[in-house]
Amino acid sequence: MTTKEGIKITRNQKVLILLSLFMLFLMVFTPLWQVGVNHSLEMSIRQEKVRLTSLGEDERILKNEIATQRNLEGESLILASMAEDLELIASARN
Q: Given a cut of 80, is residue 1 above it in pLDDT?
A: no
**What would the mean pLDDT of 16-29 be, rounded to a whole number?**
96
Q: What is the pLDDT of residues 29-47, one digit of tens each?
A: 999 999 999 999 999 999 9
Cβ 87 vs Cβ 80: under 8 Å: no
3-class DSSP assignment, residue 83:
helix
Instruction: Decide which of 82 and 17 is more confident.
Output: 17
Question: What pLDDT does 6 receive?
Answer: 73
Domains in the chain: boundaries: 1-94
Q: How far is CA 53 from CA 58, 59, 72, 80, in A?
A: 9, 10, 29, 40
Q: Given a cut of 80, is residue 56 above it in pLDDT?
A: yes
Question: What pLDDT does 89 receive?
Answer: 82
Question: What pLDDT does 3 receive?
Answer: 57
